[in-house]
Structure 1
Amino acid sequence: MIKRGIVILLAVAAGIGVWVLLGGVKALQIKGMMAKYANMKMPPEAVTAIEAPEEEWVPAIRAVGSTSAVQGVVVSTDQPGIVEKIAFESGQNVKQGDLLVQLDVSQEQAQLRSAQAQLKLAETSLQRQKNLLQNRVSSQADFDAAQAQYDQAEARVQEVSSLINKKTIRAPFTGVLGIRLVNLGQYLQSGAQVAPLQSLDPIYVNFYLPQQTIGSIKAGQEVLVKADGLEDKIFHGKINAVDSVVDEATRNVLVQATLANPEGLLRPGMFVGAEVPLPNMEKRVLIPATAVQFAPYGDTVYVVEQMKDQKGESYTGVRQQVVKVGESKGDRVSILSGVKPGEQVVTSGVFKLRQGSHVQINNTIEPANNEKPKPEDS
């Protein structure tokens, strides 16, 4: 029994010894690997970079707005009646005075003929009384009564003619009609809508600007406008009015500009982008927008410069720099502060960098850097 216990203890001791030996060997291997890789350097990150140029920059104020017609109404009826004739099509260009809709005026025309007959009789009677008065055959009272009858008959003719004109609906100004809202034979109440009519050339653009810009804008300044769906077209116009009050809720002021629109491409109600170039030209540092890391706590870029590691060896690294970003044009942004002209700035690969990262510049494929980009899918 004792011998058996001794054998078991020896077996256990031998097993523990083997495990200790294996653990020691493994520890020596790990220590050797750590010593081997202790002096290894991480490979540099491949990035693209550009020397930040300083160029002439025309500052501008940008805003979003909407278009509205210089003249725009929904043509409506003044008098009730049945539609007898429709003289236009939806979307048609019309001139001022063109006939749009004719309501039934057969009764009014009969009344007009009756009134004209009464007018003719009153005119004859008036002329007779005038001759009699000149020959001292008739009294002044008889002549005055004839004159009154004539005036009443003339007023009646004008009244019926006016009623006929009100049932003859014409274009109040030159423009483009919208969708027709009436049908032939339809009975229309007074005030019934016939069709929208908009004057498209010229056209207004209304947009809001912050109150801080009031001192920089005035009537007569140039405005550049772009509209969704018409990206290749830039419309030129001028500011014609700046509102006299500032909106208390937003502290913005309404600005109205007038644009030439001979082709009718801009329609009332369209969403547009407006840009007001300012007259004072400035020198700005310009870099691609891809170089900037935008963040709530501050926008940053990575500046490439020569650095030294812990051993004092020189390498190409990056310094994270806080910048103040100004306006943008296309793929480029202007830098107000933080980057000096000629400094080398990382333009792509910024999201994998940190302060002091080792980089290798490879400009084989560079990011877009164009003021007027034309994306392939536009």
Structure 2
Amino acid sequence: MKKILLLIAIVVIAVLGYNSFVPQKTQTQRPRPIPNVVVAKVEVMPIRDEVEALGTGRAYESIIVTSKVSEIVNEINFDDGDIVKKGAVLVRLRSDEQKAKVVAAEVKLTENLRELERIRSLVSSKTIAELERDRLQSLIDTTRAEVAQAKAALNDRVISAPFAGRLGLRQVSMGSLVTPGEQISTLDDVSKIKLDFSVPERFIQELQPGKLVEARAVAYPDRIFKGVVTSIDSRVNPQTRAVIVRAVMPNSDLSLLPGMLMKVKLIKQSREALLLPEAAIIPIQSKHFVYIVGADNKVVQQQVTLGIRSRGWAEITEGLDIGQQVIIRGILKVRPGDEVKVQQAENFKFAQVEDTEKAA
């Protein structure tokens, strides 16, 4: 045991002696590399204050084509989905009886008019009393009413388009009996589309006819349909605390159909503002800061005041001037006072980003 302890002591003494005679290598500290950062210049860009909502498209005019009378279908002049003009005859019902009544009433009227002409000279010569002439005049007026009534009944057997539009599916066949209120087809004027959507009541003060809207449909993801607000409902829904806003948008190519669900953007205000990517904003408690790169490539911390935010962009209302370089990438690698190597960001504009998102 004593030999082992003696051996350990000799080894320790030898190591200490070697370290005392051998000079140690000096440890040199490597200089910290200058970090690379990406900066963007503060610029004035267009910004929009908007409200997003979901809306339902409706035909500008829409009816269910029906008959006023019960009668047999004699003629059908349309197919499913036809586009028709105003006044186009869609269906003719059997009308032989009504035509005969019109003829009979017109014959009766002609006879009464002939009789009136015959007795006028007799009244002038005092051969017939004026009372007889007045009675015949009343009879003529009644017969004219009968003619008008017979023609109206005849016209009821002809079903026409009250406005231009696109027809739906045909629901009747030749020879079928139609009754009042029975659906023959539908007719929609889709040259323009009414778009109804709900807006929270807190925005009522900013709503007015003439505001622009942009809408998208699932069926056309690459298209943006533009319209104008035409009216605002007079009541707020007490359950949803929202008001219905109606916009009208052109649909010349008839691509939009009634009933489509659309994502709507109501543009409350469009203006110019200083914008920065949100990635440049450094929140510290209730304040916001950015890192500015000065002329000497040194980092300076600057407090800013934010306005509205929109899809990755933030409005700067105070704290920055046009043309200043703000770090947008590499923020975690630097501290105020550090020297940096600057790389300019891609020249993306706010409007271009918006267009890219719309096309996506």
Q: TM-score, normalised by structure 2?
A: 0.69
Q: What aligned pairs does 1:89-104 form with structure 2 within 5 A after superposition?
A: 89-104=79-94
Aligned to 1:247: 237
Aligned to 1:18: none
Aligned to 1:8: none
Aligned to 1:211: 201
CA 1:179–1:139 in 2, change beyond 3 Å: closer, same or farther?
A: same
Q: What aligned pairs does 1:1-378 form with structure 2 within 5 A after superposition?
A: 55-64=44-53, 65-283=55-273, 285-287=275-277, 327-329=309-311, 332-334=312-314, 344-345=327-328, 370-373=353-356
Question: Residues 83-135 of structure 1: CA distance to partner in whole angstroms, max 9, x if unpaired?
Answer: 10011111111111110100000111122222222122112122222222122
Deviation at 1:373, TM superposition (A): 2.6
**SS of residue in 2 equivalent to 1:373:** helix
Q: Any conservation in 1 of the 2:61–2:188 contact (CA below 8 Å)? A: yes
Tell me the distance in 2 between the aligned counterparts of 1:286 and 1:333: 6
Deviates more, 1:253-262 or 1:162-171: 253-262
CA 1:78–1:183 in 2, change beyond 3 Å: closer, same or farther?
A: same
Q: Any conservation in 2 of the 1:97–1:170 contact (CA below 8 Å)? A: yes
Q: Any conservation in 1 of the 2:273–2:315 contact (CA below 8 Å)? A: no
Q: Any conservation in 2 of the 1:201–1:264 contact (CA below 8 Å)? A: yes
Give structure 1 stretches of 5+ with no counterpart.
Answer: 1-47, 293-297, 306-322, 348-352, 357-362
Tell me the distance in 2 between the aligned counterparts of 1:334 and 1:258: 31
Q: Any conservation in 2 of the 1:59–1:327 contact (CA below 8 Å)? A: no
**SS of residue in 2 equivalent to 1:183:** coil
**SS of residue in 1 equivalent to 2:75:** strand
**SS of residue in 1 equivalent to 2:354:** coil
Letter in 1 for 2:159: I
Q: TM-score, normalised by structure 1?
A: 0.66
Q: Any conservation in 2 of the 1:219–1:238 contact (CA below 8 Å)? A: yes
Deviates more, 1:145-154 or 1:166-175: 145-154
Letter in 1 for 2:193: I
Q: Any conservation in 2 of the 1:83–1:102 contact (CA below 8 Å)? A: yes
Tell me the distance in 2 between the aligned counterparts of 1:176 and 1:111: 35
Identity %: 25
Deviation at 1:191, TM superposition (A): 1.6
Letter in 2 for 1:191: G
Tell me the distance in 1 between the aligned counterparts of 2:39 and 2:173: 67
Question: Residues 30-66 of structure 1: CA distance to partner in whole angstroms, max 9, x if unpaired?
Answer: xxxxxxxxxxxxxxxxxx9775856524223233312
Letter in 1 for 2:82: Q
Q: Any conservation in 1 of the 2:71–2:177 contact (CA below 8 Å)? A: yes
Tell me the distance in 1 between the aligned counterparts of 2:64 and 2:139: 41
Tell me the distance in 1 between the aligned counterparts of 2:247 and 2:38: 41
CA 1:236–1:215 in 2, change beyond 3 Å: closer, same or farther?
A: same
Give structure 2 stretches of 5+ with no counterpart.
Answer: 1-36, 293-304, 336-342
Query: How many residues were matched structurally?
Result: 307
Tell me the distance in 1 between the aligned counterparts of 2:124 and 2:356: 90
Tell me the distance in 1 between the aligned counterparts of 2:227 and 2:175: 45
Question: Residues 231-257 of structure 1: CA distance to partner in whole angstroms, max 9, x if unpaired?
Answer: 332222221112222222222121111
Q: Any conservation in 1 of the 2:85–2:164 contact (CA below 8 Å)? A: yes
Question: Residues 272-296 of structure 1: CA distance to partner in whole angstroms, max 9, x if unpaired?
Answer: 12223333525354437x999xxxx
Aligned to 1:34: none
Tell me the distance in 1 between the aligned counterparts of 2:112 and 2:275: 88
CA 1:202–1:327 in 2, change beyond 3 Å: closer, same or farther?
A: farther
Letter in 1 for 2:227: G
RMSD between aligned alpha carbons?
4.3
